[in-house]
Amino acid sequence: MSVQKTLPEAGRGWQRGGAQAMRRRLVERLVSMLCNIATVIVLFVLFSILWTLVTRGAAGLSLNTFLHSTGAPGSGGGLANAIAGSCEQTGLAALIGTPVGMMTGIYLSEFGQDGRVVQLVRFVSDMLLSVPSILVGLFIYLIVVEPAGHFSGMAGTLSLAVLFIPIVVRTTEDMLRLVPRAMREAAYALGAPGWRVILGVCLRAARGGIMTGILLALARISGETAPLLFTSLGNLNWSTSLGAPMASLPVTIYQYAGSAYDDWVQMAWTSALLITVAVLATNILARWWLTRNGSAQ
């Protein structure tokens, strides 16, 4: 009797197991299909944006674009002053924000304890990650532009640096926390001082992720317009002085995109293309440099 009862129960158990396995396979296929569809949608949107920028922006590329400053409609002006202003403000913001952000991230990861100061710094950094950029522009306007009585490239640089720093802080802290504890302990066991362990072991192991954070921060500030409208404002003439209003590609796009003049609209598309190409080229060069140095070691 026990054998007669056991066999039907085993059969039902096998049927339930087979049904569950089939259900898992169906769910797996459904999820894989949804992931593939999402990937195709993202790639389609990305390549659509790039195709639009190339087809509309490439028509405005010429020697005048890189040699002449912006001018009146129909004057054949270029984007030389805007290119120089964007490179200067973005580059200086990166030079200011990279060491400040990395040192803050190192402190939060390696030296800071779970105290009030650390929690306050982390809270402020997280808040700046999501704060609207226009608020940063208004803040720099109040503390720099208004007391000075005029717009300036330095004010634009500071506003971009404020947006740059929190991204580097969070990336540096997160990447250093991912470094295995055993690597630190091995370095300490060999008699290395704390600063040497951080520079020679932790930062070396996390440099790929930290570089990614720096590139993300650079990509964000490269296209920011709102903070520059309240700080450097823009300049139709050639100017590289940090104490005077300075042109930039994002502000040029803002001013020219809605214009009634076809040549100004064309310059707006060309400016957008130049920003995109510059960000992509920076990412490719940085990845190539990291890969080359990594393989060399």
* Of 126, 132, 134, 88, residue with least CA distance to 104: 126
Which pair of tokens denotes residue 84? 């120089």
pTM of the model: 0.86
Report the distance separating Cα 52 and Cα 289, nearest Å. Answer: 30
Q: What is the pLDDT of residue 136?
A: 96
* Range 243-253 average pLDDT: 95
pLDDT at 76 over 70: yes
Q: What is the share, in percent, of the chain residues with pLDDT greater than 90? A: 67
pLDDT at 297 over 60: no
Report the distance separating Cα 167 and Cα 175, nearest Å. Answer: 12
Range with the poorest average pLDDT among 50-54, 157-161, 281-285: 281-285
Pick 28 or 112 by higher pLDDT: 28
**Cβ–Cβ under 8 Å, residues 186 and 115:** no
∠ CA 45-51-66, rounded to 5°: 130
Structure-derived torsion over alpha carbons of residues 128, 228, 157, 151, reported in degrees to the nearest 10:
-130
What is the Cα Rg of the chain in Å? Answer: 27
* Range 70-96 average pLDDT: 93
